[in-house]
């Protein structure tokens, strides 16, 4: 009778962890809170309680691999299957899966993508568990031996089925601005920070499918896939068909951020513990 199961009535988060350090912890917890607020579910845990739950799950990992923690909060169980609901006790579900290592040398050839019309609803900024359109796109990509489906709404490139999209043109990096049409990806945010720290030009503006196809570089980003170069879309080569120089620079900078997170994580954890509202 769980409404997560019956209706997809819930939100979720995915926390990447490297050697048991949670990367982008505060941003992920904030986005979880935003999602819960958007669908009127009271957060069942304080920040420090969530951190303890995630760390407990990580402690079961004895081989010490990098893990993605999937966390779901559904509205909870009801007595009847009806669309409306009363005040319910949210259900919390957590699981851990190992993250594939993204080794630079293996990514130089890039990945392929397909493009599709974005038919999703107009609240894509909420990380809702109801992912029917997204999984259909992902399946279509898989059946076409592609890494991702890149979506276009009214000619504008929005995002991937489970990633954000970046292009590079004339040494400037472009990505869709935050809006209800995309999920505000945490990796997207980290990539923008990395680029700005390197004094690279970044523009959070919309771009169309022609700009995508004629870009110098295309990347997709997500917490589990990090930053992947896309070098073939709908069987057409992007530029030379290889990962580009800006991807290489941002890849390195992202790896540096992960390592800095590791050495800072004790401090970040203390900071979060002290600011967490209980």
CB-based burial label for 181 (10 Å; 0-12, 13-18, 19+): buried
Please choose, from the candidates 200, 220, 202, the residue with its C-alpha nearest in 3D space to the C-alpha of residue 157: 220
Which C-beta is closer to ligand PMP: that of 9 or that of 118? 118
Binding track, positions 203-242, relative to ligand PMP; x by CB under 6 A = ------------------xxx-------------------
Q: Return d(Cα 238, Cα 224) in angstroms, integer.
A: 23
Q: Which of residues 126-145 bind ligand PMP (CB under 6 A)?
A: 134
Catalytic residues: 127
Binding track, positions 151-190, relative to ligand PMP; x by CB under 6 A = --------x--xxx------------------x-xxxx--
Is residue 118 close enough to count as binding ligand PMP by CB under 6 A?
A: no
Minimum gap (Å) between residue 78 Cβ and ligand PMP: 27
The string of DSSP letters for 66-124 reads -EEEEEEEE--B-SS--SS--S-PPEEEEEEEEPPP--HHHHTT-EEEEEEE----S-T
Minimum gap (Å) between residue 214 Cβ and ligand PMP: 23
| CB distance 189 to 254 below 8 Å | no
Binding track, positions 4-23, relative to ligand PMP; x by CB under 6 A = ----------x---------
């Amino acid at each position: 009778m769980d409404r997560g199961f019956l209706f997809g009535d819930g939100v979720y988060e995915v926390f990447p962890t490297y050697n048991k350090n949670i990367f982008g912890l505060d941003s992920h917890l904030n986005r979880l809170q935003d999602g819960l607020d958007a669908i009127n579910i009271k957060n069942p845990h304080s920040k420090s309680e969530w951190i303890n739950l995630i760390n407990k799950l990580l402690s079961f990992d004895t081989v010490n691999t990098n893990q993605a923690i999937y966390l779901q909060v559904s509205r909870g169980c009801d007595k009847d299957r009806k669309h409306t609901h009363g005040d319910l006790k949210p259900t919390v579900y957590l699981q851990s899966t190992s993250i594939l290592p993204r080794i630079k040398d293996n990514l130089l050839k890039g990945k392929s993508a397909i493009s599709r019309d974005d038919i999703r609803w107009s609240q894509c900024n909420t990380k809702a568990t109801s992912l029917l359109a997204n999984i259909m796109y992902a399946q279509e990509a898989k059946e076409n031996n592609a890494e991702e489906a890149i979506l276009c709404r009214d000619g504008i490139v929005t995002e991937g089925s489970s990633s954000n999209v970046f292009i590079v043109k004339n040494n400037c990096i472009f990505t869709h601005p935050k809006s209800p049409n995309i999920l505000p990806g945490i990796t997207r945010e980290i990539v923008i920070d990395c680029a700005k720290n390197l004094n690279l030009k970044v523009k959070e503006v919309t771009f169309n499918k022609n700009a995508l196809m004629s870009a110098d570089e295309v990347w997709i980003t997500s917490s589990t896939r990090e930053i992947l170069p896309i070098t073939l879309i709908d069987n057409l080569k992007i530029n030379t068909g290889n990962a580009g120089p800006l991807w290489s620079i941002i890849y390195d900078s992202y790896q540096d951020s992960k390592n800095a997170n590791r050495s800072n994580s004790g401090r970040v954890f203390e900071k979060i513990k002290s600011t967490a509202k209980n």
